[in-house]
Structure 1
């Protein structure tokens, strides 16, 4: 009986060469994407906090431990509001600003948030000198959509000088209490971004 032949040449000792290895690229990509998402979620509030604190410290005449503490706390509140506002606005693509043919601008909202620490400090100083009594209620039109209304309510209530006391979704209005008779620079920025409107403006 003839002896069995043995294959010679490249690949002769690799009988499983033609088999496809189990796919790992998809799992590795998924893990990498998840980790990058975690890093982005952590970096966003940290980035906002750093920028807002730098702006605040650039506005104060002298930097002290008290100013750093106040700036850090105000910037933390501003960072939380910035993240919540951005996510709320991006979660609802149907938000429309008050007035015909306008839309809510995310870049405008971001520009308003840069003023937030300074506005919080100015309101705090005003309350320290004049007290928190008085003020008046003003109806402000707000951009349409629940996400826009939530973002506007949060941002209009984060500084000591204003807060939202009620929402009328049917009429598209926020009931805002202001200590000062005129809108603050922060509120004017929110108006320019299209998140809220001026009193009497059609929703």
Structure 2
């Protein structure tokens, strides 16, 4: 029995590492202007280091990776949120350059039940408009810093109850 449980744990760890690696590799490849084999090899090695670090951070924070029910929806909404928040950041930067003050805020945000805390926080933090600062290990509540403006469709899909 122990061998089966250990095998399942090792398989889950390998699947998690592969997921983080694939996501990190995809992001790195998107930022490479001309894709060549040496650059791809360096990106793959860097993504492996990022995957190991992401798993270690997730385990240290006791965050869950499960909750894949909204994962496809979140991945489809991510590009729109990225563009929206990038435009919001550019507008905020332009306002600051014109001498105006732009202030972000800290909000308590409740994640939707059944969501995987690790991937939800990672995906939300990958946009310029919201960054998860802290999470409550006892519940699905996180402290997030946000740019001024309304929540994106991605944030609305992954959270409930709005910003407090």
Q: TM-score, normalising length from structure 2?
A: 0.50
Structure 1 residue 119: deviation in Å? 2.6
Q: Please state if 1:107 is matched with 2:72.
A: yes
CA RMSD of aligned residues (A): 4.1
Contact 2:65/2:119 (<8 A) preserved: no
Q: Do the aligned partners of 2:135 and 2:142 also contact (CA within 8 Å) in 1?
A: yes
Matches within 5 A, 1:64-75: none
SS of 1:104's partner is helix
For structure 1, the residue ranges without an aligned partner over 5 or more in a row are: 1-37, 54-68, 70-79, 96-102
Gaps of 5+ in 2: 1-17, 34-46, 59-63
Which residue number corresponds to residue 138 of structure 1? 107
CA offset digits 1:35-89 (Å, max 9, x no partner) = xxx9xx7799559966xx9xxxxxxxxxxxxxxx8xxxxxxxxxx8xxx8xx99x
**8 Å contact kept, 1:166–1:174:** yes
Note the 1:114-153 alignment, pairs <5 A. Answer: 114-131=79-96, 133-143=102-112, 148-153=116-121
CA distance in 2, matches of 1:158, 1:141: 18
Shift of 1:127: 2.4
| Residues 136-178 of structure 1, C-alpha deviations (whole Å, 9 max, x = no match) | 2221111457x81111221222222221121112132011122
Alpha carbons of structure 1 residues 126 and 185: separation in structure 2 relative to 1, 3 Å? farther
Q: Is residue 162 of structure 1 aligned with residue 130 of structure 2?
A: yes
Alignment match, 2:3: none
| Cα 1:187–1:48 shift into 2, 3 Å | farther
> Does the aligned pair in 2 maintain the 1:104–1:143 contact within 8 Å?
no
Q: 1:122 to 1:142 in 2, by over 3 A?
A: same
Give the number of equivalent residue pairs. Answer: 116
What is the TM-score of this pair, normalised by structure 1? 0.42
Greater C-alpha Rg: 1
Equivalent residue runs for 1:1-150 within 5 Å: 45-46=25-26, 92-93=65-66, 95=67, 104-131=69-96, 133-143=102-112, 148-150=116-118
The answer (yes or no) to whether the contact 1:165–1:176 under 8 Å persists in 2 is yes
Deviation at 1:118, TM superposition (A): 1.1
